[in-house]
Amino acid sequence: MKISSAESVIMEALWRKQPLTSEAIIAEVGEPNGWTEGTVKQLLSRLVKKKAVGATPDGRRYQYAPLVARGDYVAAESQGLLDRLFDGRLAPLVTQFSDAGKLSDQDIAELKALVERISK
Amino acid sequence: MKISSAESVIMEALWRKQPLTSEAIIAEVGEPNGWTEGTVKQLLSRLVKKKAVGATPDGRRYQYAPLVARGDYVAAESQGLLDRLFDGRLAPLVTQFSDAGKLSDQDIAELKALVERISK
DNA sequence: CTCCATCGATGACGTTTGTCAACGATGTGA
DNA sequence: TCACATCGTTGACAAACGTCATCGATGGAG
């Protein structure tokens, strides 16, 4: 099932630290996003129903933990963007950032080192 | 306004060739996506309302053309992904594809050439 | 044992999206 | 001129999404 934009905020919290109680999650993402307790609970429920998050009973409450790895999610999202906008190829994406002047010197240095390492 | 996923298919057609009549657009994207005439018309209407597409009267019909540049759209989408998933930095994104074994030799060669060019 | 706080479940509601059909205006061929 | 084909507009409707409140169960404090 697809993870929506608001839901992904919850996922990020869980990927950062896991497991968490709903209380902890609310503390983590409620304020920064202007969400009430009810909103976060609903998002959590939907994620559990989607099997993106697991809920382990712990006394009267649950401990929540991601069931999908961040890496898998990130890979799917990235591949999706690449396919949709760049014909599945990586170089044009990098070109796009370069052309847009969005690459810092550090970015370029990192890329350079990275390509060095990969290409051997 | 935000361009939805289905709407972006129409946009891609218009970015490829412009202007187009609704008939041409339907011919272009209808079949491949399993959309009826009505569906494409509705998507077009919404894009016009969103000011993402312009409609110039041409006799009894319109000539449709994009009002947003593909480059702007691509830049925004790419930046969004980078910010959401890679802390705004490009190198980790490239690493992700590398780690996932999604880079062909050609990709690597292109990247290498690209980085060469950029870094000077 | 009773009352209260808290948790998860559920209902609710407006908006967006995906999908399609019906309608009214209008140009055109017979 | 009249019937038909075609265009854009609009209505419709289910599903997903964003957002929030209410409710029933239950565990713990007094």
Rg (Cα) of chain B, in Å, rounded? 19
Does residue B107 form part of some domain? Answer: yes
| Percent of chain A whose pLDDT exceeds 70 | 100
Q: Identify the residue whose Cα has the smallest distance to the C1' of D21.
A: A38
Other CB atoms within 10 Å distance of the CB of residue A16: 10
pLDDT tens digits along B11-63: 999 999 999 999 999 999 999 999 999 999 999 999 999 999 999 999 899 99
Q: What phi-psi label fits residue A87: left (phi over 0), alpha (psi between -120 and 50 degrees) or beta?
A: left
Angle at A27 between CA A63 and CA A5, to 5 degrees: 80
CA A57 to chain centre: 25
Domain at B31, CATH number: 1.10.10.10
Domain match, B95 and B48 both: no
Regarding whether A102 and A50 lie in a shared domain, the answer is no
Answer yes or no: is A76 within a domain.
no
The strand pair at B53-58 and B61-66 is best described as antiparallel
Per-residue pLDDT for B76 more than 80? yes
Distance B81 CA to D3 C1' (A): 55
| Residue A82 in domain | no
CA dist A93 and A81 (Å) reads: 10
pLDDT in tens, A82-106: 999 999 999 999 999 999 999 989 9
Mapped onto helix, strand or coil, the DSSP state of residue B83 is helix
Q: Is there a domain that residue A71 lies in?
A: no
Residues of B in contact with A79 (CB under 8 A): 102
Q: What's residue B22's pLDDT?
A: 97
- Chain mean pLDDT for chain A: 95
Closest-CA distance, A60 to chain B, in angstroms, reads: 34
Residue A56 contacts strand D, CB under 7 A: no
Instruction: Give the model's pLDDT for residue B27.
Output: 96
Q: How far apart are CA A66 and CA A68, in angstroms?
A: 6
Tokens 């490239």 map to which residue? B94
Q: Element (H or E) spanning B120, and its range?
A: none
Looking at residue B82, what is its pLDDT? 95
Does any domain span residue A78?
A: no
A110: domain range?
A: 90-120
A55 CA vs C5 C1’ separation (Å): 22
Residue A77 is assigned to a structural domain of this protein: no
What confidence score (pLDDT) does residue B94 get? 94
User: Is residue B74 situated within a structural domain?
Assistant: no
Q: How many CB pairs under 8 A join A and B?
A: 93
Judged against a pLDDT cut of 90, whether residue B118 lies above it is answered with no
A35 CB contact with strand D at below 7 Å: yes
Look at residue A118 and tell me whether its pLDDT is greater than 90: no
Residues of A in contact with B71 (CB under 8 A): 96
Tens of pLDDT, residues A28-57: 999 999 999 999 999 999 999 999 999 999
pLDDT at B29: 97
CA distance A89 to A92: 6
In this structure, the answer to whether residues B11 and B48 fall within a common structural domain is: yes
Number of domains comprising chain B: 2
Check whether residue B57 and residue B108 sit in a common domain.
no
With bands split at pLDDT 50, 70 and 90, how would you rate the model's confidence at A1? confident
Could you tell me if A13 and A61 lie in one domain? yes
Whether B71 maps to a domain, the answer reads: no
Within this chain, do residues A62 and A11 fall inside the same structural domain, yes or no? yes
Do B9 and B62 share a structural domain? yes
